[in-house]
Chain A
Amino acid sequence: MLLTTSVGSLPKPEYLMKARSQARKGELSAKELRQLEERATREWIKTQEELGIDVIVDGEQYRGDMVAYFAEHLGGFQNSQLVRSYGNRYYRKPIIMGKITRPKPITIDWWKFSQRLTKHPVKGMLTGPYTIMDWSFNEYYPSRRAATLAIAQVVREEARDLEKAGAQYIQVDEPAISTRPEEMDLAIEALGIVTKGLKAKTITHICYGNFTAIGPKLHKLPVDQIDLEFANRDFELLDFFKGKRFSKEVGLGVVDVHNHRIESRDEVVSNLKRALKVFKPEQVYVDPDCGLKTRTVEEAVDKLRVVVDAARAVREQLVN
């Protein structure tokens, strides 16, 4: 009970950031970049093992944006010129220009590479069809629905290949799901296509957004576990679950990923105990709110350490 994990991305060390920038300019070969991505992955897996995290992630050292990464490996997508996301931040938003296909498996080699390095289970990490659609332009499919369902088919193929390779946990992230509550049913239908028939434990991470609107449909998400941000809104989200007997497992985000401050073990312990008044201990996985890639390596390690220490402390109190 209270198994610890993390949501997906982990920060890239300085040498990898530099290498990625060199590779973009053509100053570093794909092979050299790959070696550094493997080195960073090995380091993160070792770090997670040393910290005592139960369910490990590969840290996505070889991915940039969580949608662009899949768009680059799928057929039918083109990359756009820059669009602004906020402030002075820009990115290249994929454009669906043709029928979406998966010419070959995308994440399977990386998953196998990581799983060979550890005895802990490594999660397979995918981006969900609704989010890939919402974060892309669409010039090919007649509607947002048609595009979402087409993407669902290829994400499903990837999920099945992860399971075949041996993944016990498959996480399909849908951070966009709370953007348009009126499309929640579409998101649920598409996610259902991805997870149908999988024996692995399925998880989806969704970011907070308009929770009052999507909350009532959370139990319909076709996954075993729903991972949510609790820390960044002071655990107010617990009120929603009070008295509801929520039947799925819950990934409980207990440290804020958008804040430099490292939470104290005591405050996380106390918040975890609050959560255990609402959820059963065997229902809860403990993790940071979201991917840690925006933190420094040191901050990420410190935050993960607090997650593990607090979960352990509460586990011990529960056993005694």
Chain B
Amino acid sequence: MITTLVGNYPKVAEDTYSTKLIGSISKWQRQEMTDAQLEDILREITRAVIQEQEQAGLDLLTDGQIRWEDLVTPMAKRIEGFEINGLSRWFDNNVYYRRPVLHKKPVRKGPILVDEYRFAAGCTKKPVKAVLPGPTTFATVSEDRHFKSERRLILALAEIINAEALALAEAGAPLIQFDEPALGFGKPNMALAVEALGIATKGVKSKTAVYTYFGSLNGALSPLMKAKVDVVGIDIVSEPKTLGALKRTKITKELAVGCLDGRNTKLESVGELHALFNVLKKLVPADRLYINPNCGLEFLPHPQAHAKVRRLAEAARTYRGR
């Protein structure tokens, strides 16, 4: 059983690593702070976030996406062809992201996340995974004024994501995760989503994972088992029926199961997590199981996010030790 987080983590912490990022970004926006000065602060907080995961005892770490405005902006703003537009709602959350608008053929001019990955990996001896938006989600939250075709947009983005995944694997990422929250909403074209994931992971030597979260995976589970990825991430908190659907699905991949609620402060008990692990162990052997919160922890204030990290590690430790 491998413990991990989904991706993002609170950028500010009144109780530990301070809220100075807020003021620093404002100053940087007003050009009262240089890029290098802001970079120092981003690195300092990234290091603190990695340390918290390490001290809690998680197995597979993330950089907490401290410099990410949202899942897609960091990529979109460095892909030629996109313009970052106004605020839109981030799925079913009272949280907003800036909608990328594609005006012309998207072109990746060079590595995007590799430097920040290298820095994060250098902060710890534990493995650090890399996270990218999945092609279907990237396309769903963007506005397409170029291709005017869902298929062509998704496939073009899949190629770009693949180039980035290859670069991250090259940089040493042991696992590359593709986030696909969009698959939980409406009636996604699963055949296309799976085809695009195949492109995104093509030639990637590291382990690959697709993570779904929010919404409910009506009929998306079985197709996902056919995607060319090693791990399938499932949120069983947002829609409790998903666990039942998972039991009815032929599981051919390693599973990453979102067991703690990353969107509510209420802390799960060790007992209820153990009960859940018992159920999951029947679905997939423990060495093919990742456990994590159902989504990034940035929806929570820092003290509660930190408590969930520690609870996750504690529940796994005591479970293994039984």
Contact = CB atoms under 8 A, between A and B. Distances in A.
Contact of B264 (A85, A88, A138, A179): A138
B70 interface: yes
B14 A85 contact: no
B265 A86 contact: no
A86 B301 contact: no
Contacts of B265: 80, 95, 137, 139
Interface string A121-148: 0000000000000110111000000000
Interface string B1-36: 000000000111111000100100110010000000
B264 to A, nearest CB: 5
Contact of A209 (B15, B89, B95): B89
Interface residues of B, number: 33
B95 A87 contact: no
B11 A86 contact: no
Interface in A85-102: 85-88, 90, 92-93, 95
B266 A85 contact: no
A101 to B, nearest CB: 20
Contacts of A258: 86
B92 A180 contact: yes
A81 B264 contact: no
A81 B94 contact: no
A85 B12 contact: no
Nearest to B25: A88
Contacts of B94: 85, 134-135, 176, 179
A81 B95 contact: no
A84 interface: yes
B22 A83 contact: no
A90 B12 contact: yes
Contact of A83 (B26, B70, B301): B301
Size category of the A interface is 20 to 34
A85 B97 CA distance: 9
B314 interface: no
Contact of A80 (B12, B86, B97, B301): B301
B69 interface: yes
A134 B299 CA distance: 13
Given A81-B14, A93-B301, A176-B94, A86 B87 contact: yes
A82 B70 contact: no
Contacts of A87: 69, 98
Nearest to A135: B94
B87 to A, nearest CB: 6
A106 B69 CA distance: 36
B192 interface: no
A302 to B, nearest CB: 21
Contacts of B93: 179
B96 A82 contact: no
Nearest to B69: A87
**Residue from A88, A95, A139 whose CB has the most chain B CB atoms within 10 Å:** A88
A82 B266 CA distance: 16
Contacts of A176: 94
A179 B214 CA distance: 12
Interface string B297-308: 011111110000
Contacts of A179: 89, 92-94
Contacts of B96: 85-86
A82 B95 contact: no
B190 to A, nearest CB: 20
A209 B92 CA distance: 10
Nearest to A79: B301
Interface string B65-82: 000011000000000000
B70 A81 contact: no
A137 B70 CA distance: 21
A72 to B, nearest CB: 16
A82 B87 CA distance: 20
A13 B96 CA distance: 26
Contacts of B14: 81-82
A51 B233 CA distance: 56
A80 B13 CA distance: 12
A139 B266 contact: yes
Nearest to A91: B94
Contacts of A95: 265
Contact of B11 (A84, A92, A138): A84
Contacts of B11: 84
A77 to B, nearest CB: 12
A139 B269 CA distance: 13
A134 B25 CA distance: 29
Interface in A49-95: 80-88, 90, 92-93, 95
B113 to A, nearest CB: 19
Interface in B281-322: 298-304
A80 B19 CA distance: 14
B298 A84 contact: yes
Contacts of A83: 10, 298-301
A86 B86 contact: no
Contacts of B15: 81
Contacts of B97: 86
The 9 closest A-B pairs by CB, nearest first: A86-B96, A81-B301, A137-B265, A139-B266, A80-B301, A88-B25, A81-B14, A180-B92, A179-B92
Interface of A: 80-88, 90, 92-93, 95, 134-135, 137-139, 176, 179-180, 209, 258
17 contacts: A81-B14, A81-B15, A82-B10, A82-B14, A82-B19, A83-B10, A85-B94, A85-B95, A86-B70, A86-B95, A87-B69, A137-B264, A137-B265, A139-B265, A139-B266, A179-B89, A209-B89
